[in-house]
Homo-oligomer: A and B are copies of this chain.
Amino acid sequence: MSSVDQQLDELRTEITSELPSDISVSEVKYEGPELVVYTRDPKEFAQQGDLIRQLASKLRKRITVRPDPDVLSEPRKAREQILSVVPEDAGVSDLDFHKDTGEVVIEAEKPGMVIGRHGSTLREITKEVGWTPEVVRTPPIESSTVSNVRNFLKQERDERRDVLERVGRQIHREEMSDEEYVRITTLGCCREVGRAAFILSTPETRILIDCGDKPGAEGEVPYLQVPEALGAGASNLDAVVLTHAHLDHSALLPLLFKYGYDGPIYTTEPTRDLMGLLQLDYLDVAAKEGRTPPYDSEMVREAIKHTIPLEYGDVTDIAPDVKLTLHNAGHILGSAVCHFHIGDGLYNVAFSGDIHYDDTRLFNGAVNDFPRVETLVLESTYGGRNDYQTDQDDAERNLKKVIKETYEKDGKVLIPAFAVGRSQEMMLVLEEAMRSGDIPEMPVHLDGMIWEATAIHTTYPEYLRDDLRDRIFHDDENPFLADQFNHIDGGEEERQEVADGEPCIILSTSGMVTGGPIMSWLRHLGSDPDSTLTFVGYQAQGTLGRRIQSGWDEIPIDDDDTGRQSTLSLNMDVETVDGFSGHADRQGLENFVKTMNPRPEKVLCVHGDESSTQDLSSALYHDYNMRTFAPKNLETFRFV
């Protein structure tokens, strides 16, 4: 008998002895980090409100109870019963019964009403019907990404359960080594921005954190080929953890599956969906530019299939000697500071991923409060000595001024924006400005992936800033659903109409004017001296956006019909409004460390160019007397 089977056997005995005699245990197994308990008496289980929590705390495991398939009621009957228990206002849109696991997935417009206070309605459902309910939100804006991911996971449910079971046994394997060490190997994003990738390793366990590309530097991918990365085979990785969905952190994750990786990706649920959206777009763009991407969409699906979503704050066993907890990072939807607790009190490491320290309109500021943390791996995008940004109030004032002036000229405001994050922040600023009368009411057109990305945001309001969440949940006021917002889904014809019409605001991808519908908008509006092209995000070296910012007014542009290149004379006003970054600035980074609880002993400054990482590293050393480093790629640091 393997050690895991023996462990499960002992757990079954222990659980049986803890339970009242009228509740039977028919099977106990691991699925990913969870311990799943099958019972012939699910209703009785549910009646004892606190039983699962007691078991979980006694066994120090995450526990899910499921009915033995033999005792399940008819789905048709169960459906009726569920609909009678759940309040009509919950807006249940779909019920999906899975006989093999006794689970029923309930999709509802208001999942909170299906869950009930502290889960009371859920328990009520189990008491009535025996099935184990799982709740997902019906996106208030239809999202093809969310529905594709959900349909795919439904269809792959069997295979996914096999993956989860295998991962579960792997997590709970016996520890083999009597050595002790904790190490971080840098595979990318050191003294540079882009291609984030780290290995966290102990004698038992090897975890890859992020696996991104480097925008604007084709071919500069993380150093996956070295022995300490995939050199010994992708199957030597125990787990992958993804901090957030941006491509410089996620683009090459699917490649791992091409290389034979078959383990879990831990991240938040919105990151999973956004990652799928962005990776597929990454393949799309590569194809359009005539490049051969390193993997195909099948591998994106593999990545999604292997994702185990975690919620902020959940402490999760991901290896025999590693517990992972994700915390809000304030950067984009679902972005996480990833905290690793290693060994039994041996060591703690937090990877910041990308963070925003102060609250923004969209998100609460990054969490920097942990039970323990000895080493922090900190992004340094704006770590340079002069990297102070305009504050949010000033930024908004400047933006509103540009809009008002353009409106008064009867012109249009064209804003190149990244689909994920900055666009939604803009939407909130604009919605509020119009509601409060700071700027006149006018249509806000959303072009490119922005609408889809916004739909994903509305699917996961739990991940938004608390007062925004409250507005959505309690006041039923979802600013993303405001009337001003219009999805450009009618192609060139609709764009022509907008261009010929009244004053308005247009948010369009790509954010650095390197392609996408923004090119079309430039064709329509570029020659209009009354309109304003307004930059609200970072324009990288070498992009058309940067060139326009620095004064180019003769723009090479593909002619729409023929595909030939012609030159466009740019007569629009060009404005730049700083202060809307998703990254903490130098002050924010320092504040993150200064107020961090507890203050770490060591900080690795990464994800910034050479001078930013070194400036930040030396500032933190001088101000707080910590050991700080600005690592190079391909180094290994040992902490224990």
Contacts and interface: CB of A to CB of B under 8 A. Distances in A.
Contacts of A201: 226
A636 B232 contact: no
Interface in A188-216: 201, 206
Contacts of A638: 632-635
Nearest to A190: B638
A636 B231 contact: no
Interface residues of A, number: 20
A347 interface: no
A185 interface: yes
A633 B201 CA distance: 14
A301 interface: no
A68 interface: no
A222 to B, nearest CB: 12
A227 B236 CA distance: 9
A259 to B, nearest CB: 13
A236 B228 contact: no
A23 B141 CA distance: 86
A636 B184 CA distance: 10
B636 A635 contact: yes
Contacts of A206: 227
Contact of A636 (B181, B233, B236, B634): B634
Contact of A227 (B181, B228, B632, B633): B228
Interface string A595-639: 000000000000000000000000000000000000011111110
A183 interface: yes
Contact of A185 (B181, B231, B632, B636): B636
Q: Which of A201, A206, A229, A231 has the most CB of B within 10 A?
A: A231
Contacts of A636: 185, 228, 634-636
A188 to B, nearest CB: 13
Nearest to A177: B225
Nearest to A226: B228
A79 to B, nearest CB: 52
A240 to B, nearest CB: 16
Nearest to A182: B634
A130 to B, nearest CB: 48
Contacts of A185: 636
A227 to B, nearest CB: 4
A629 to B, nearest CB: 12
Nearest to A199: B227
A425 to B, nearest CB: 38
Interface in A148-185: 181, 183, 185
Contacts of A635: 183, 635-638
Contacts of A632: 638
Contacts of A633: 638
Interface string A221-253: 000001111011100100000000000000000
Nearest to A181: B634
A190 to B, nearest CB: 9
Nearest to A225: B203
Contact of A231 (B181, B183, B232, B634): B232
Contacts of A229: 227
Contacts of A227: 206, 227-229, 231-232, 236
Q: Which of A201, A232, A233 has the most CB of B within 10 A?
A: A232
Nearest to A634: B638
A630 to B, nearest CB: 12
A233 B227 CA distance: 10
Nearest to A185: B636
Given A227-B228, A228-B228, A634 B183 contact: yes
Q: Which of A232, A233, A632, A636 has the most CB of B within 10 A?
A: A636
A233 B632 CA distance: 26
Q: What 6 pairs across the A-B complex have the smallest Cβ distances? A: A636-B636, A232-B232, A231-B232, A227-B232, A228-B228, A632-B638
30 contacts: A181-B634, A183-B634, A183-B635, A185-B636, A201-B226, A206-B227, A226-B228, A227-B227, A227-B228, A227-B229, A227-B231, A227-B232, A227-B236, A228-B228, A228-B231, A228-B636, A231-B231, A231-B232, A231-B236, A232-B232, A232-B233, A632-B638, A633-B638, A634-B636, A634-B638, A635-B635, A635-B636, A635-B637, A635-B638, A636-B636
Given A226-B228, A227-B227, A634-B636, 4 more contacts: A181-B634, A201-B226, A634-B638, A635-B636
